[in-house]
Amino acid sequence: MHGSRWWQRGVIYQIYPRSFMDSNGDGIGDLRGIRSRLEYLSWLGVDAIWISPIYPSPMADFGYDVSDYCGIDPRFGALDEFDALVHDAHRMGLRVILDYVPNHTSDRHPWFLESRASREGEKRDWYIWRDPAPGGGPPTNWLSEFGGSAWEWDDATGQYYYHAYLKEQPDLNWRYPAVRDAMHEVLRFWLDRGVDGFRVDTIHHLIKDSELRDNPPNPSYRPGMPPHRQLLRQYTTDRPEVHEAVAGMRRVLDGYDDRVLIGEAYLPFDRLMAYYGQDLSGMHLPFNFHLIGAPWNAPAIAEVVREYEAALPPGAWPNWVLGNHDKPRIMSRVGPAQARVAAMLLLTLRGTPTLYYGDEIGMSDVPIAPEQVQDTFEKNVPGLGVGRDPERTPMQWDGGAGGGFTTGAPWLPLGPDLARTNVEVQRADPGSILSLYRALLALRRAEPALAVGRYAPLAAGPDLLAYVREHGGRRLLVALNLTSRPRRLELPSGILGGRLLLATGLDREGELLGGVVDLRADEGVIAEVAPAQGA
């Protein structure tokens, strides 16, 4: 695939480290555990692993409250174990992407301890401190994503500090040059150790309004929504100055060969596109989450794809996400039959796919009893169903007592479907969803049309989604039935029949197609097709 970068043609696999593989029986996944499963990831056929935070942390938000950006939390291992993991991954042809959490630290980070020690301290301006409002109370009406005010009073120095998330996660002041310099050094520390890129956490929060204006009320707010949705985050997220900060990160990465910068920002397409940066000098891949919340029907998905493709700046590379550590799992959203169709969609659209661990074996959200809740978001705002524990449960490697994940008690419960939803059973089953993911990944790797080819939608009616991927004169048709009823796709006059390469049931390869494609209920197919003469 001449001219393409590894992060354009490859597939990223997200690992939530607490839940992937435990090597020492303490019930929490670790680096040695990940390293022991690299063979599986190589067999599966992914190209890069993205590891959620592994830095030293009090774990108020399970690693997203960092107390040392240049170390490894002892729960996960040590720096030499991380180096060994990178070495082995590279030897197997796998890239390693780390989470980078620039918006906030832990309140136990030495920077914050020094910042809150005195108003005159050297690092006071490294965080966002403000006096009370004229009448007393917080400086603004800004709300924390995890409930309550985003301002926390500090008795010792008589000011409030700002935290977009937990009070244990004070926000860094990215308007302050010393903060940028220090955080750029963090990037260099890991790049020098061989890391292939970063997924940047909550990038749109990085800069706040310099005038500290109140956020306006949200006219769409309804009871039952998380409390922070009462306000529009007009002055606390997606500020224009954030793109200068992103460009600074990109300049650091551009000093190294072949690295990737991925940004997390839940934004509408028109605002998300700005994160590619002027002249593509920003994020290589601002994460596109829009399929996660889209209604699961053909017209809605087709419209998401159309809007996204139309919005992309010239030369920008697209990407797609169907699941992650913050959202309900695909299987729980669309059901077992359509989860196979979702797999084919994710791995055949134009752009870089990110696959969430466990989705390849069809893991579902696991019910969490009240006494088992770990997620602070759920504890702070109970009863609204905002907890993220159900999609963070341990990877199910086999059907044994610990699911092959641990010899001890897992930090979150395993799924009730463990006996059949596990790697060992599905690896031996040629018709399993794991076998489908592996076949899709192999076909994507073998066919440049699927990895980097052009994308052209086809008219397919209200129940089907169909498109052609083309590269170097080779054309592949993807047809997806988003319903539980058989459907027929009539091929346009410009396309002759062809031959099926892969079906979601893994049972139709080699079938010849004429001018129509008959799809069974909940089925997707990929076929090689040829243009009609003169077309």
What is the set of active-site residues?
201, 264
Work out the number of other CB atoms within 10 angstroms of the CB of residue 472: 11
The long-range contacts involving 498-503, CB below 8 angstroms and separated by at least 24 positions, are 498/527, 498/528, 498/529, 498/530, 499/527, 499/528, 500/525, 500/526, 500/527, 501/443, 501/476, 501/526, 501/527, 501/528, 502/344, 502/439, 502/440, 502/443, 502/526
Cα 122 to Cα 117: distance, rounded to the nearest angstrom: 10
What gap in Å lies between CA 202 and CA 283, rounded to an integer? 13
DSSP β-ladder status, 524-531 and 495-503:
antiparallel
* 79: number of Cβ within 10 Å: 12
Alpha-carbon gap, residue 144 to 161, rounded angstroms: 12
d(Cα 172, Cα 325) in Å, to the nearest integer?
Answer: 24
Q: What are 437's two structure tokens?
A: 């993911």
269, 292, 390: which is closest to 346 by C-alpha?
292
- Alpha-carbon gap, residue 368 to 132, rounded angstroms: 40
- CB neighbour class for 52 (10 Å; exposed up to 12, middle 13-18, buried from 19): buried
Q: What angle do CA 52, 63, 34 make, to 5 degrees?
A: 40
DSSP string, 495-529: EEEEEEEEETTS--TT-B--SEEEE-TT-EEEEEE
Q: Which of 511, 504, 450 is nearest to 481 (CA)?
A: 504
Q: Where are the beta strands (DSSP E) in 404-511?
A: 454-458, 464-471, 474-481, 487-490, 495-503
